Amino acid sequence: METKNVHLGLYINRFNPFGSFAALYSCWSMILTVYKLSSGMCLRPEFMFLSMIIIDPNSPSQNIDVCLRPLINELKYLWSSKALNYDVSRK
């Protein structure tokens, strides 16, 4: 069985659903993308994965590791369990 590397990018974006950044309420979206794809494909919406949304009245920037822990645990589990995958390019 051939082993492949996976290169992931994590984008974190803060936005306020009420339109005013002066308000205390904010949302944070975390999007994963796969960098192993060609440059034209890796930023297409169909290859970007919304991994979590953090809804918090305070900015989680100081404690972002607490929010990322579930994602890190899931990625470690998938890596260690050698989860089956499907390579579309090779069918």
* Cβ–Cβ under 8 Å, residues 51 and 31: yes
Q: 18 versus 14: which is more confidently predicted?
A: 14
0.75 surpassed by pTM: no
40-84 pLDDT per residue, tens: 787 888 888 888 888 776 666 667 777 788 888 888 887 777 666
User: How is residue 65 written in tokens?
Assistant: 């590791």
